[in-house]
Amino acid sequence: MKLSTTAAVITGGASGLGEATARHFAGAGATVTLLDRDAERGNRVAKEIGGYFAETDVTDEASVQAAIAHAMDKMGRISACVNCAGIASACKTVGRDGPHPLDVFRRTVDVNLVGTFNVSRLAAFEMAKNDPEPDGARGVIVNTASVAAIDGQKGQVAYSASKGGIVGMTLPMARDLAQSGIRVMAIAPGIFMTPMLETLSEEVRAQLAADVPCPARLGDPSEYAALAGFITECGYMNGELIRLDGALRMR
């Protein structure tokens, strides 16, 4: 697969990792449809990159079905799906205010894990209809996990569980879709400069960056985008998780 001939759907495409990926793909010649809840920013980014936008709630089946149908109508096919939509929560199992709110745990898992699977399964259904390339390839799915899936910190129980689920479904999904020529990969970013971190003070961001061995800085979304692009074009990468974290090991 080549980015120049790729037709991609990218969730969370209005900001952060998703926006960077959309810009990287479009810059390499790909046709892109952004899926996001933020219609104002999503439409603006889509216009800037010459792509398309569909307002989408990844947790809602009908919403994603409509978004995928819109992408098919505008692009004619889907050959790549990059799932970047996600939320974070900070809450201990038992804290000063009592036990972890169950609705917060459910919402985090619903958006991050169920939402990722919801989009992946519907995108894969359309990918399977593509004419195969010479090596049998019809598409690729790149899902966003997190280093928290492996070494989550205190207060990350819901977030770590949701991202751990993404890691756990990578290989079986790849095996499920192998007969259709669809690859599945996962990226586990470390601490990246995304809208989630932009709300923190410069001092706190500097402290976080200091924990990264090399380079001692926060990750740039463009680095995630470059890896997603490489995975798309490297046809032998399948069923695996790649950490992108500057050798960070959280404690």
What positions carry a catalytic annotation? 159
Integer Rg of the chain from CA: 18
Burial of 163-172, coded b for 16+ CB within 10 Å and e otherwise, reads bbbbbebbee
Write out the two tokens for 218.
Answer: 């926060």
Nearest CA to 49 out of 22, 13, 20, 80 is that of 22
Distance from C-alpha of 203 to C-alpha of 187, rounded to nearest angstrom: 27
Alpha carbon 48 to chain centroid distance? 21
Distance from C-alpha of 231 to C-alpha of 102, rounded to nearest angstrom: 36
Write out the two tokens for 220.
Answer: 């740039």
| 120 neighbors 162 (Cβ within 8 angstroms) | no
Nearest CA to 119 out of 56, 45, 46, 179 is that of 56
Could you tell me whether strands 52-55 and 98-99 are parallel, antiparallel, or unpaired per DSSP bridges? unpaired
Other C-beta atoms lying within 10 Å of the C-beta of residue 236: 6
Could you tell me whether strands 139-144 and 80-83 are parallel, antiparallel, or unpaired per DSSP bridges? parallel
Count of all residues that appear for the chain in the document: 251
Assess whether the previous peptide bond of 189 is cis (omega < 30° from 0). Answer: no
